[in-house]
Amino acid sequence: SQTIHQWPATLVQPVGSPLSLECTVEGTSNPNLYWYRQAAGRGLQLLFYSVGIGQISSEVPQNLSASRPQDRQFILSSKKLLLSDSGFYLCAWSVRAGGPNADTQYFGPGTRLTVL
């Protein structure tokens, strides 16, 4: 079966510091990968998605970036964190092939980021 991991689970960082959040998927190949942010009391905001190694699409202009160095690894980064970057970051994957299962997203446990 497929599993998705995120780490760290919790992170407290000062303003201006760098960020690296990691997401890995097991048990599947060639997944679509996604990064979402969830601010307190708000819905999901899609930040980035990737359909393959090195292929990143950005949905929202910001000081965050994403990379996909390996097929099942997705990294969210920042060179300098802002207070507004605080939130709950969720990684998700979906099957890349066609058919209904290709449109079903499965989420990781999330990373709680607090920027002070």
Q: What is the CA radius of gyration of the chain?
A: 14
Q: Considering the rule CB under 8 A, would residue 107 count as an interface residue with other proteins? A: yes
d(CA 113, CA 89): 7
Please report the beta strands in the chain, taking only residues with DSSP state E, as ranges in sequence order.
Answer: 3-7, 10-13, 19-26, 32-38, 44-52, 55-58, 64-70, 73-78, 87-94, 106-107, 111-115
Note whether 81 and 30 are within 8 A (CB).
Answer: no
Instruction: Report in angstroms how near the CB of residue 98 gets to other proteins at its nearest.
Output: 9
**Minimum CB–partner distance for residue 35 and other proteins (Å):** 13
Burial (CB count <10 Å: 0-12, 13-18, 19+), residue 29: exposed
Stretch that binds other proteins, among 14-22, 64-72, 78-86, 95-103 (CB under 8 A): 95-103
Residue in 1, 14, 40, 43 binding other proteins, rule: CB under 8 A: 43
Sole window of 13-21, 63-71, 74-82, 103-111 interacting with other proteins (rule: CB under 8 A): 103-111
Q: Which of 32, 74, 76, 86 binds other proteins (CB under 8 A)?
A: 32
Residues that bind other proteins (CB under 8 A): 6, 32, 42-44, 46, 49, 51, 88, 90, 92, 94, 96, 100, 102-110, 112
